[in-house]
């Protein structure tokens, strides 16, 4: 294991804001999704989304500090656990250049899935090797 953290720059868009002037709570999950996209692009050999045979089983977010328009965000993503049929990712949304400013943390559980048979399956050996190579 080499404890790899994947970092994605997140652009706060005007449309992300709510009436209170900060990023709407639901948008944080879109930020996490962008991080997952970067993560899978980095560990896979192709960019075909059909090659990602998993479903999102759970996602959570702890909101620690409001994000406003003009904040420069960096999202860190890493593998925290690998199970028989699932793997977990952790997220940390920080200010670019100052990781001590943490806006949110989160976690997601991805379950490997056979779309033809419509059922969960074990993490393939190929995926497990890729996940173990970068996991904590």
On the question of pLDDT at 74 being above 60, the answer is yes
Q: Given this model, what pLDDT does residue 73 score?
A: 98
Q: Given this model, what pLDDT does residue 3 score?
A: 78
Has residue 1 been placed in a domain?
A: no
Cβ–Cβ < 8 Å for 46, 104: no
Q: Tens digits of per-residue pLDDT, 91-135?
A: 999 999 999 999 999 999 999 999 999 999 999 999 999 999 998
Has residue 11 been placed in a domain?
A: yes
| 73 sits in which H/E element | strand 73-82
Has residue 60 been placed in a domain?
A: yes
Compute φ and ψ for 101, nearest 5 degrees.
-90, 100
Q: What is the 3-state secondary structure (H, E, C) of 110-122?
A: EEEEECCCCEECC
What CATH number is given to the structural domain containing 118? 3.10.129.10
Q: pTM of this prediction? A: 0.92
Which domain range does residue 14 map to? 6-134
Give the pLDDT band (50/70/90) at residue 78. Answer: very high
Q: Given this model, what pLDDT does residue 1 score?
A: 52
The predicted model gives 78-90 an average pLDDT of 97
The predicted model gives 72-97 an average pLDDT of 97
Q: Tens digits of per-residue pLDDT, 9-63?
A: 999 999 999 999 999 999 999 999 999 999 998 888 665 656 678 999 999 999 9
On the question of pLDDT at 66 being above 90, the answer is yes
- Which of 8, 21, 28 shows the shortest CA–CA distance to 68? 21
CA 56/CA 69 separation, integer angstroms: 29
What total number of domains does the chain contain?
Answer: 1
């Amino acid at each position: 294991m080499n404890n790899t953290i994947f970092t994605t720059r997140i652009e706060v868009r005007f449309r992300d804001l709510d009436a209170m002037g900060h990023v709407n709570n639901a948008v944080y999950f879109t930020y996490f999704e962008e991080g997952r996209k970067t993560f899978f692009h980095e560990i896979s050999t192709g960019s075909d989304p059909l090659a990602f045979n998993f479903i999102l089983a759970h996602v959570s977010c702890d909101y620690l500090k409001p994000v406003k328009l003009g904040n420069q965000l960096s999202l860190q993503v890493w593998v925290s656990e690998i199970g028989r049929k699932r793997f977990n990712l952790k997220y940390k949304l920080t200010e670019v250049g100052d990781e001590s400013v943490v806006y949110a943390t989160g976690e997601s559980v991805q379950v490997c899935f056979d779309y033809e048979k419509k059922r969960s399956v074990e993490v393939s050996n190929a995926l497990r090797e890729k996940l173990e190579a970068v996991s904590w």
